[in-house]
Amino acid sequence: MRLRSVRELGPLGVALALGQVAWTLRQHWVTLPPGQRERLQQLLRESRGNPLRLSTAQRHELWSLVRALELAGAVRRGATKALLSRR
């Protein structure tokens, strides 16, 4: 998305687009099995935002759980839905 097109959306359009992306991310979060969601939350709390605070095995586990979320695809789909619904 170009910067100019973001300006054309206006504040309400940007808020709606962000809401659509957040909704899509939530849908991806819910697709993870409850055990994986809990483990991911536990690792994120333990790392306090810094993966270097985790052991090597925990970092590998964290990255595999993050990959399972498919965040890039979720953001892409949410942004596409938001932009298409605005047109």
- Walking along the chain (87 residues) 10 residues at a time, the average pLDDT comes out as 61 80 83 90 90 92 86 71 60
61, 43 in Cβ contact below 8 A? yes
Distance CA 53, CA 8 (A): 42
Helix 71-86 to helix 56-69 angle (10° resolution) is 30
pTM over 0.75: no
What's residue 68's pLDDT? 84
End-to-end CA distance of the chain: 14
Instruction: Output the DSSP codes for 22-63.
Output: HHHHHHHHHHS-HHHHHHHHHHHHHHTT-GGGS-HHHHHHHH
Predicted pLDDT of residue 45:
92
Q: What residue type is 3 in one-letter code?
A: L
